[in-house]
Amino acid sequence: MFVLTTFSVAARCPRTGMVGVAVCTAVPAVGMLCPFAKPRIGAIATQSFVNPYLGIDGLTLLEQGFSAQQTLEQLVANDSGREVRQLSIVDSQGNAVAFTGKACLPWHGHRVGKGYAVAANMMVDETTVKAMAEAFEVDPQEDLAERLLRSLEAGDATGGDYRGRQSAALLV
């Protein structure tokens, strides 16, 4: 288990069907642990006390035809460390869900919108997820990678991870 206090967005573009994840943290090499995506299947961000198998197993469930909600329910039910985890999932249809365990480091929370989910922990307050969601929604016709990056930039502009920034990743 890796401790990654992070902010992220997982999303699907309704125009192209592309899926992706953008994530930022004060911990090195976040791209190796948090973002998971597979074309025409879905995207998953796993963070807080990261278990990368939630991303790997989640994509397998999505590929087997589970919805984002069913995938989230299965992953959370089978994870003994669920109370220190955050998961954001979007499936190939654009259904988005998120989970934030009660024992994640404060401030922690998430926001789900049409085709996306943002999550953050170890933030000052909910300003980060609010700004990220608003930034993602600005122009639905823009390329997914641009929207994901804009969302991360908005989260960072609010102060982001209060320990600073060390790494970020964008996977589309």
> How is the chain split into domains, by residue range?
2-171
Mean pLDDT of 144-170: 85
Q: Say whether 28 sits in a helix, a strand or coil.
A: coil
Q: Can you give the pTM of this predicted structure?
A: 0.94
Task: Output the CA torsion sign for 73, 65, 49, 149.
Answer: negative
Instruction: Collect contacts of 140-146 with beta carbons under 8 A, ≥24 apart.
Output: 140/14, 140/15, 141/15, 143/13, 144/11, 144/12, 144/13, 144/16, 144/18, 144/19, 144/20, 144/172, 145/20, 145/170, 145/172
CATH class of 2-171: alpha beta
Asked if residues 155 and 51 have their Cβ atoms less than 8 Å apart, the reply is no
Q: In which band, very low, low, confident or very high, does the pLDDT at 63 lie, cut at 50, 70 and 90?
A: very high
Share of the chain above pLDDT 70, in %: 94
User: How does the average pLDDT of the chain come out, rounded?
Assistant: 92
